[in-house]
Structure 1
Amino acid sequence: MLKISIIAGARPNFMKIAPIIHAIQNSGNYIKFRLIHTGQHYDKKMSGSFFEQLEIPEPDVNLEAGGGSQAEQTANIMVRFEKELHENPTDLVLVVGDVTSTMACAVVAQKLHTKVAHVEAGIRSGDWSMPEEINRLVTDSITNYFFTTSEIANNNLRSSGIEEERIFYVGNTMIDTLLKQRPRFQQPEIWKKLNLKDKEYLVMTLHRPANVDQEEKLKELMDEIIAHSGNLPLVFPVHPRTAKILQGLGVSHPRLHMVEPLGYLEFNYLVERAKAVVTDSGGITEETTVMGVPCMTLRDNTERPETMTFGTNELLGTNPKAIKPAMEKLFAGEWKQGKKIPLWDGKTAKRIVKYLLEISNNKEF
């Protein structure tokens, strides 16, 4: 029996681990898992119904290590996870993504001589100003088994000296969740309230400090998006903090609809039917690629270049003047179609569990 501790620290992590849990549950009684929520992010939408929607059990423990600065949060996670591992020893700690919990739990595991597997290993943006990039680099420097989403990630690992036999090219678990949940997308209340129609509105999300913390830049971005989005409604699920900044800047327009953050099923219902998405998120670029929705990313770099080479995503940068030509291209019907990304097929988690069992059978633990 292989014992695994699965780490999640934020809402997107649970989207990534849900299919892994399903694959474990369907693989026979060969793997026993313990689900650990570090509590890195408090999210009021993560109630019991959230876990029911994903069809996974509620975490075995919540370390409640959120809040404070980056350093304080890292320290809290490490102290509490160390205690958890002493009380519940395991064969393998499985971490996903690139949040602080990913890095902190990997460090603790290795210092307690426990093997680490990293799902979404090898992803790089090259931007060390992003906390996530530091988390990726540190985690991959002490990982034993690397589960990757793309050949680009594989090459990043090879170039850093990782042996081929420790790299497992499996695909993207976030897409497993998307494909499973797609038939269950739910129409949000604002659909009827705003009288939205398929392909006749845009969806926006902005949250990165480079975009929302510089007030003049944020105002210029918003002004350009409003000015060049034709007569289409702009649906902007916005964090209350960002909404307050926008209101203070006097950003408003009859076509701009700032709404409360939406649940996963409701948000992706909107994305799937949008004419395009304007975002600075990494994960959304993956989802738009799979659903064939044009995506404009307001960032200078991306850790998911396959969404551009294969997918529907274009990196516009952070210069507001890049928005007008991108919108003109969209409205002229000249946006690229995109094609399928290899192994983003909904079977990634099955491949991960298959490899874990093979590793276990080779008695590497």
Structure 2
Amino acid sequence: MTMKKDYKIHLIAAARPNFMKIAPLYHELNKTDWATPIIVHTGQHYDINMSDAFFKDLDLPEPHIHLGVGSGTHAEQTGRVMIEYEKVLVQQQPNLVVVVGDVNSTIAATLAAVKLGIKTAHLEAGLRSFDRTMPEEINRIVTDSIADLLWTPSPDGDENLIREGVPPEKIQRVGNIMIDSLEMMRGKIENAGTWQDMGLSRNVYAVVTLHRPANVDNEDTLRSLVNALIELAAIHPVVFPIHPRTRANLERFKMMEKLQATDGMKCLDPLNYVRFMNLVFNCRLVVTDSGGIQEETTYLGIPCITLRDNTERPVTVIEGTNRLCKVQELRQSIESILNQKGKKKNPPELWDGRTASRIAERIRSYLGEGGHKV
């Protein structure tokens, strides 16, 4: 098959997890003789980890295009990304736009591209929590309904899309791109030495991350969580990198000092990915309400308790090491894990660190055979 040299492929990223998902695909496409990957940073999220060190860890160049959207309401962010990205699309006319995840920039970039007749692909398609009170769920549903290619990480993604009436030829199961990122950075993670720096013992501490509004914005809920973590610290060391939103509420509700004064509790500022994952690699269990860490712990075979009523990653519960848990059940779930021996490792099919290469081949076939040129 004769390929056109220099297909332009936009990789859209808005927040730190997005960059981690596009990094393996950027490197895979960049080493081909037919594609030019172009990193588009919408600027939707800013945090301390969006630094030179973060891009260096991922071996990424600075984003080629900055939209500079900034913070705002859901409508403001979505609208600004559409307005600014449309200008870029008109000027650059890429052959394919790749969006990832479920943030506002995901749906906004997809809408802007589709309305201009530019082909789009959604990486991490088909994930559903079935909870439409979550803004991310709306973003997932709408993005999947209009994108041209839907790259799913697991069988439940395929099934959700089929149930929603998506034509099967649009759906391509490629695996979990976050596992590619983890493997790409494994050497740095293993050498980071975070757990040693903190004086911890391998496999005898818990890592906690909490940031979802349902858990940290309500005073009674947050107090129940704090009390449960204090109980855990009494029997098992706890490391708690505290998200800025969570810290603000802990201080507002006057719980921070009590938490910091608890024996066995290490309260930290947020860590970069490498140092954080070094903690995870060497812990006994994780307590979280995050999405990505449910996948990483499943791949690593580390028990994970997710403080949510639902998850858009059910494969981590069905096949992996994750379990959903209500706040009042936390102590019982922790005790159950601590009484178990060893770790279980059973990563889902195609969670193997080769997702980016599969995607690159799908893109090559799609652009070459489909003639999707602008």
Alignment TM-score, normalising by the size of structure 1: 0.95
Partners of 2:202 and 2:155 in 1: CA distance: 34
Give the match for residue 331 of structure 2. 324
Q: After superposition, give the CA deviation of every residue in 1:3-48 in whole Å (9 maximum; x if it has no partner).
A: 211100110001000010111122x211122210000101222122
Give the match for residue 246 of structure 1. 250
Is 355-364 or 69-78 further displaced after alignment? 355-364
Give the match for residue 88 of structure 1. 92
Partners of 2:319 and 2:196 in 1: CA distance: 34
Amino acid in structure 1 at the alignment position of 2:28: A
Q: After superposition, give the CA deviation of every residue in 1:35-64 in whole Å (9 maximum; x if it has no partner).
A: 100001012221222112101221111111
Partners of 2:96 and 2:24 in 1: CA distance: 18
Partners of 2:243 and 2:344 in 1: CA distance: 31
Give the match for residue 128 of structure 1. 132
Question: Secondary structure of 1:124's partner?
Answer: coil
Q: After superposition, give the CA deviation of every residue in 1:154-182 in whole Å (9 maximum; x if it has no partner).
A: 11111112222211111011110101211
Q: How does 1:278-289 map to 2 (within 5 A)?
A: 278-289=287-298
Is 102-111 or 222-231 further displaced after alignment? 222-231
Is 234-243 or 16-25 further displaced after alignment? 234-243
Question: Secondary structure of 1:362's partner?
Answer: helix
Task: Note if 1:311 corresponds to 2:320.
Answer: yes
Say if 2:195 and 2:278, in contact at 8 Å, map to a contact too. no
Residue 275 (structure 1) shift = 0.7
Give the match for residue 169 of structure 2. 165
Partners of 1:273 and 1:49 in 2: CA distance: 23
Partners of 2:343 and 2:56 in 1: CA distance: 37
Partners of 1:190 and 1:347 in 2: CA distance: 27
Q: After superposition, give the CA deviation of every residue in 1:107-134 in whole Å (9 maximum; x if it has no partner).
A: 0001111111000011100010111100
Question: Secondary structure of 1:361's partner?
Answer: helix
Partners of 1:4 and 1:274 in 2: CA distance: 39
Amino acid in structure 2 at the alignment position of 1:163: P
Q: Percent identity?
A: 44
Amino acid in structure 2 at the alignment position of 1:43: D
Gaps of 5+ in 1: none
Give the match for residue 202 of structure 1. 206
Say if 1:109 and 1:115, in contact at 8 Å, map to a contact too. yes
Say if 2:123 and 2:152, in contact at 8 Å, map to a contact too. yes
Residue 190 (structure 1) shift = 6.0
Say if 2:194 and 2:275, in contact at 8 Å, map to a contact too. no
Partners of 1:207 and 1:187 in 2: CA distance: 27
Residue 258 (structure 1) shift = 1.4
Partners of 1:99 and 1:215 in 2: CA distance: 26
Partners of 2:194 and 2:343 in 1: CA distance: 29
Match of 2:309 among 271, 282, 300: 300
Taking structure 1 as reference, are residues 46 and 121 closer, same or farther at Cα in structure 2, changes over 3 Å only? same
Match of 2:117 among 110, 113, 117: 113
Residue 240 (structure 1) shift = 3.1
- Aligned residue pairs total 362
Partners of 1:47 and 1:231 in 2: CA distance: 37
Stretches of 4+ aligned residues off by more than 4 angstroms: 186-190
Partners of 1:345 and 1:79 in 2: CA distance: 38
Amino acid in structure 2 at the alignment position of 1:18: A
Question: Secondary structure of 1:185's partner?
Answer: helix
